[in-house]
Structure formats: C-alpha cells, structure tokens
Copies of this chain bind each other. A is one copy, B any other.
C-alpha cells in the first residue's frame, strides 16, 4: 500500500515538474541529493521520466576567482535573458561546500532580483559530498531543469581544484570572468582554464578601470591566439562588461548565440554532448571499480601487507599488484 502511494506521489511530482512547477523541481532535486535508498529509487524513476523532455537547453559554465563579481554578473545576465522570455536555471558546483556546507549561492540574497523572477530558478551546490558526487548530482539536476522547461542552464563554479574541469565537462559553452589590472595573470586562475574558455569577459570594465580593461582585452586576445584551434572550430572571444552597470551583457549573449549557431552547423554541439555523456559513463565506472576493489576488507588488509614488503624492498610494485589482483578475482 505504501509502495502504491509512493508511486502516485512520484507520478504527481513528475507531472508537476513537466508542467514547469518550480516547487516540484526543487523537491525532485532534493530526492537526487538524498542518500536515503528509497529516495534514490524515486530519483531514478523521475530522471527516467524526464529524459525524453530534456536536452533542449543551452548549458553555460561560468567561472572566475572570488571578487570577480560572479553573483552580480549572473544576476544581470539572468535578468537580461528572462527579459526576452528565456527561462533561466542557475546551479553551482562548489567544492568548498564539502567543508563549509555550501558557500556559492548559499546566500540567495546575493541575487535578489533574480530570486524573485518567476522565470528563474536558483539552486545552491549540493553539499557534504566529494566533487564527483556533487558533479553527478548537478548533471542530473540539469536534466530535471531542462524537463521543467528551462532553456538556459548556468553552472557556476569558483576556481578551486578540479571544479572548472568538472563544469567544463558538462556544459556547451564555458565563460571565464576576469578582472583587468596588474598581476591579473596571477589572479589564481590556473593554467588550462584559459584554454577551456569559449569567451573571456573582463568584468568591472567601467570608470577608472576601463583603460586597463581594454589593455587586458588585447593581452588576452594575444594569449588566446597562441592556442591551437579548438575542435569546435570556434575562435574564443574576449569582451568587456560591467555587470553592475549592465554594460556589455547583451554582447555576451550575442557571442553565445553565435557559438551555438556555429557549433550546431558544424555538428560539434551534438558531438560534444555525446562525448560528455561517454566521459561521465566511463568516469563513473572507473571510480566505482576502484572503490569496490580498495574497499574490499581482505584487499585492505593484504594491501597493507604488500605496502610493507614494498617499503622494505621485498617485492616490486608489479608483483604486489599481481598478488592483490589474484586475491581479488
């Protein structure tokens, strides 16, 4: 009887979600984030029901160091999009949330206007989990948001550890926010991030900052030309904006629209999404295989022993590996 009730609950939730009900979307994401096994079953059913209605959005990754003005940018950018009828969902991948229980988007007052907008949906980063766990939940949340009729999905991250790479592997377009000014190249943006960017927006390009921002634009354009052509065939753009003064925001959407047109025409858009799906499939399997192996009690014990033999040069890494693999099989 309980099971039947649960089934009806889930059906209702799915129906509401597909009818663009934001409360239902919120509840569904909560089920995805839950560690409760019953919730997991429900979450799987909801995802399966949402899949045919998903995949019709533009997924945009946004990163930049703290202080670059990400919240203000996302608020202004999001309002710009909802103003011409787009429905915008904002998700976050915040590796620090595993410790602080969510700092990005945790304080919704940071995006006062967007929060009140009925065409916007803002969801803080899942917390208390590994980056891999958060990544999975975010990817599944994207599907739910799309099924709930959101046509632009923004994934925000802060430049820590591997989080940009993770976000890059789940979006169509990757936007890097930067500040102009001395020591900019040392702003803590790791190498490789520039390489991933489809556009660099130099924020706070207003007032006294404008001249420096223009210089920075020249510099970044030069830097970008040093990289080999992307497989998307897209030449990354550098642009100036001031989120606070709502300047240059429309130009960024134009760049993104251009990108979508170019990559749809050359079929990179779909190829890339397929590659991303494959990547997550393989990644998930590999992580699970390792975790299964190293969490097996008899392996744990034998590994300790083999490491001791290794430290005292009584075995080689390869002989030890063979021994453990044989024990496992």
Interface set of A (CB-CB < 8 Å, partner B): 44, 47-48, 51-52, 54-55, 136, 139-140, 143, 191, 274, 277-281, 283-286, 288-290, 293, 306-307, 310-311, 313-321, 324-325
Contacts and interface: CB of A to CB of B under 8 A. Distances in A.
B136 A311 contact: no
Contacts of A316: 47, 51, 139-140, 143, 277
Given A289-B289, A311-B274, A316-B143, A321 B55 contact: no
B288 A321 contact: yes
A48 B290 contact: no
Given A140-B316, A278-B310, 13 more contacts: A48-B315, A140-B318, A191-B191, A274-B310, A277-B310, A277-B311, A280-B317, A281-B310, A281-B317, A284-B317, A284-B321, A285-B324, A288-B325
Stoichiometry, as copies per complex, reads: 2
A313 B52 contact: yes
Q: Which 4 A-B pairs have the closest CB atoms?
A: A280-B317, A284-B321, A281-B317, A289-B289
Contacts of A44: 319
A136 B52 CA distance: 47
Contact of A290 (B278, B286, B319, B324): B286
Contacts of A288: 321, 325
Contacts of A321: 280-281, 284-285, 288
Contacts of A318: 136, 139-140, 280, 284
B286 A317 contact: no
Contact of A47 (B274, B306, B319): B319
A317 B51 contact: no
A311 B270 CA distance: 9
A279 B277 CA distance: 29
A191 B320 CA distance: 33
Contacts of A324: 285
B139 A285 contact: no
Given A285-B325, A293-B289, A139 B319 contact: no
A191 B277 CA distance: 29
A165 B113 CA distance: 49
A111 B200 CA distance: 50
Contact of A313 (B54, B281, B285, B315): B54
